[in-house]
Chains A and B, each alone.
Chain A
Amino acid sequence: MLEIKNLHVKLEEEDKQILKGVDLTVEPGQVAAIMGPNGSGKSTLSYVLSGRDGYEVTDGAATLLGEDILELEPEERAAAGLFLAFQYPVEIPGVGNMTFLRTALNGQRKARGEEELSAADFLKLVREKAKALKIDADMLKRPVNVGFSGGEKKRNEILQMSVLEPKMCIMDETDSGLDVDAMKLVADGVNALRDAGRSFLVITHYQRLLDHIKPDVVHIMADGKIIKSGGPELALEVETNGYADILAEVA
C-alpha cells in the first residue's frame, strides 16, 4: 500500500534535517502504529506524505499503490487515496462543513474520472455516516470545525474519512485532547473502516489509543528514523519502560 524508502526531509526555510532515512512499508489492510519521543519526526512524516508546504525532500521516495506521491499536489494525493487526520483540525469560518465535504468528495471523484455525487445522494451518505459518529445535523451545518470541542473536531475528521473512503489513512495523534469516551467513539469509527483494502498509519504517543485501535505492527521512530519494529507488544513495552531502553538498545 504505502512504501517509504530512505526518506530524507529538511525544512525548506532553514537548514534542519528532520527525517534522516525513513524506511517503512504498510501492507494493504494493515494497521501500523508509529510511536516515538517528541521531536522524532512523526508529524513531519505525516505532513510530507500529505504534501504540506515548507518541507524539502532531499532523498528517498514514497509510493502509494506503486505511484510516486511526493511530486503530487495535496489534492492529487487525496484523490489517489491518501488521507491525513490532523492533530489539530483547522477551523475555517465562513465555509460550511457540508459544502466543504461535498466539494472535497466530488473533487476527488472528478479527479478519478468518476461521476459526481448529487446533492441528495451526498446528503443521504453523510447523514448515515454522521449518525454512527454521533454527529448531529447542527454540527454538519456549522462552518468547518468552528466552535467544535476537541472531541467534535476529531469526530469530524473521522466523518470526513468515512465519507471520502481513502485507501491509506494517516492519523496524527488523533488521541490528543480526547477524553476516554471520545477516544472510544473515534476508535469505533476507525475500526468500522478497517478493511482488507484500507491501511492505517496511526501516530501516537500513548498505548491508550492502541487499546482501542489494535495495531498489527508497531514502529518506533527516533531522530528521523524508524529504529525498531515489532508487534503490539512493542507498544506495551514503551508504555511500561519509556523510550530510554529502546534508544539505548539501538545505540
Chain B
Amino acid sequence: MALPAQKFEAADGLLARHAAPEAGAVWAVEARDAAAARLRAMGAPMRRDEYWKFTNPAALTIAATQAAVFAVDEEPIFDDIDRVKVVFVDGVLRRDLSDDLSLEGVEIETLGEALAKDIHWARDLFGVLEARGQDPVDRPMAALNTAVAGEGLVIRVTGKAPKPLSLIYVHENETSDAVLHHLVRLEEGADFTLLENGPAAARFNKVVEVDVADGAAFHHVRAQGRDHERKTATHMFARLGEESAYKSFTLTVNGVLTRNEQVIEFTGDNAAATVAGACAGDGDEFHHDDTVFVTHDAVNCESRQVFKKVLRNGAVGVFQGKILVQPDAQKTDGYQISQGLLLDDDSQFLAKPELEIYADDVACSHGSTCGGVDETAMFYLTSRGVPKPEAQDMLVLAFIDEAIQEIEDEALADDIRDLLAGWLSRHRA
C-alpha cells in the first residue's frame, strides 16, 4: 500500500524545523545523514500508522511549537539522594548550573565533543541502536532525533559508579523545541544509575541509547511531571550483553502528550530487563502512551514489563507492549502486565499487548486489566473511619506500588512514592 505523500512532506518538514547541528567528524555526519534518510524513507508519524492509532502525533509533528506554560514550583525530587547533577535548560547543557561532570568510574562528555572526535565506542553506538530499533516498527521521531540532535551527554561507565548521574531538565522558554540525544555505554561489569526529571521544553524529543556490556547493570529512574502542557516523545534503545541487567522505571503525571518508547534487545544469554512505569492523569487534556518492544535473541533471558495507569476526568492512557522471541531464544522468561485504574466513566485505558514467539521452550505470560476502585475495599477502609479521599488515595497508591516495587533502590522508590502521594492529594475528585 502506497504511503500518503503528506507523510514524506511532513518528514521533510520535521527535518527543516531544526537547525543543523555542528558538523562533527565524518562518521558523525554520515550517521546523521543516514538517520535523515531513514526518516525520509519511513515518513513522519501519522494517526493511521499501526503504532500511532491510539495516540495522535500531530502535537509532535506540526510546524509551530505551541506555547506551553509550566509550573515553576516543581516539587524537588531525588533531593536527599547523593548524586551528580547535570542541568539542561530548554535542551541546552548549562555547566554553570551543573555539578562538575566527574564521577568515579564514569567518563562524561557532551555529545558535541564526542561527535567531533573519533571515539570508536561512540561511533558504534550513536544512531546504531536507534537504527536497529526501527525494525520491524518505525520510530520516526527517534530517527529525527539522531539526524538533528546537537545536545546530549556521552557517558562511558567502566566501574561501579558510587552515585547516580542525575539529569535535570529545566524549561524556561515558552516555545522551546528541544532535542537531546544521550549515549550510555556500560563496560563489562559496570554498574550505573541514571536519574532524569523535569519539564525540559515546550516540545521535547529525547533519545537515550544504552549499550550494556556483559555482566554490567544499568538502572534508570525517571519522573515526568508538573508541566501540564508537556508534549514529548522519548525513546530508550538498549542492547543487553550476557548476564547484564537493565532496569528502567518512569513516573509520569500530567502532560498533554507523552509518548515513551523503550526498545530492548537481548543479544547475550542470561540477561534480565525490566521496563516499568506508572502514570497518573487528570483531565481530558492528559494523554500518555507507553510503547515497549522487547526482543529476545539470546538464551535464558528474563524480561518484565509492568505498567500501571490511574486516570480520571477524561484522561487517556495507552500501553503498547510487545515481546518478540526469536527462534534461538530458548528458555526465555517473558512477563508483561498493564493495568488501568479508571476513577470515573470518562477516562480511557487503551492497551495492545503482543506476543510473537518463534522458540518452543519459553515461558511468556501477559495480562491487561482495566477497572475502577474496589468498592468493597473502599467500604472496608471508610467503615473504619478512613476519610473517603484518603481511602481512595491508599487504594490508588497500592495499585501503582507494584510498578514502583520494580525500582531496586528503596530511597529512589520512596521518592517516587512521595511524589505520587503529593500529586494524588492535589488531584482529588
How far in angstroms is the closest Cβ of chain A from B341?
12
B385 touches A105 (CB 8 A): yes
How far in angstroms is the closest Cβ of chain A from B356?
31
A104 touches B397 (CB 8 A): no
Interfacial chain B residues near A79, Cβ < 8 Å: 385
Kindly supply a per-residue 1/0 record for chain B positions 367-388, scoring 1 wherever the CB is within 8 Å of any chain A CB and 0 otherwise: 0000000111101111111111
A89 and B380 in contact, given A53-B375, A75-B387, A95-B398 (Cβ under 8 angstroms): yes
Interfacial chain B residues near A144, Cβ < 8 Å: 380
Expressed in whole angstroms, the Cα–Cα distance for A99 and B397 within the complex equals: 12
A78 touches B382 (CB 8 A): yes
Shortest Cβ distance from B379 into A: residue: A52
Question: CB of A160 within 8 A of chain B?
Answer: yes
Q: Restricting to A75-118, which residues have a CB under 8 Å from any CB of B?
A: 75, 77-79, 83-84, 86, 89-90, 92-95, 99-101, 103-105, 107-108, 111
Interface residues of A, count at CB 8 A: 32
Question: CB of A74 within 8 A of chain B?
Answer: yes
Expressed in whole angstroms, the Cα–Cα distance for A83 and B385 within the complex equals: 9
Interfacial chain A residues near B390, Cβ < 8 Å: 103, 107
Question: CB of A199 within 8 A of chain B?
Answer: no
A50 touches B394 (CB 8 A): no
Question: CB of A36 within 8 A of chain B?
Answer: no
Interfacial chain B residues near A41, Cβ < 8 Å: none
B384 touches A164 (CB 8 A): yes
Tell which of B379, B397, B399 has the most Cβ of chain A within 10 Å: B379
B388 touches A95 (CB 8 A): no
Option from B375, B384, B394 in Cβ contact (under 8 Å) with A78 = B384
How far in angstroms is the closest Cβ of chain B from A164?
7
Option from B374, B380, B382, B401 in Cβ contact (under 8 Å) with A86 = B380
Question: CB of B344 within 8 A of chain A?
Answer: no
Question: CB of A51 within 8 A of chain B?
Answer: yes
A95 touches B394 (CB 8 A): yes
Q: Restricting to B391-425, which residues have a CB under 8 Å from any CB of A?
A: 391, 394-395, 397-399, 401-402
Question: CB of A67 within 8 A of chain B?
Answer: no
Option from B379, B381, B383, B401 in Cβ contact (under 8 Å) with A94 = B401
Shortest Cβ distance from B377 into A: residue: A92
| Interface of A toward B, CB cutoff 8 Å | 50-53, 73-75, 77-79, 83-84, 86, 89-90, 92-95, 99-101, 103-105, 107-108, 111, 143-144, 160, 164
28 A-B Cβ contacts within 8 A? A50-B383, A51-B382, A52-B379, A52-B383, A73-B388, A74-B379, A75-B382, A75-B385, A75-B386, A75-B387, A77-B383, A78-B384, A83-B384, A89-B380, A90-B376, A90-B377, A92-B374, A92-B394, A92-B398, A95-B381, A95-B398, A99-B394, A107-B385, A108-B385, A111-B385, A143-B398, A160-B384, A164-B385
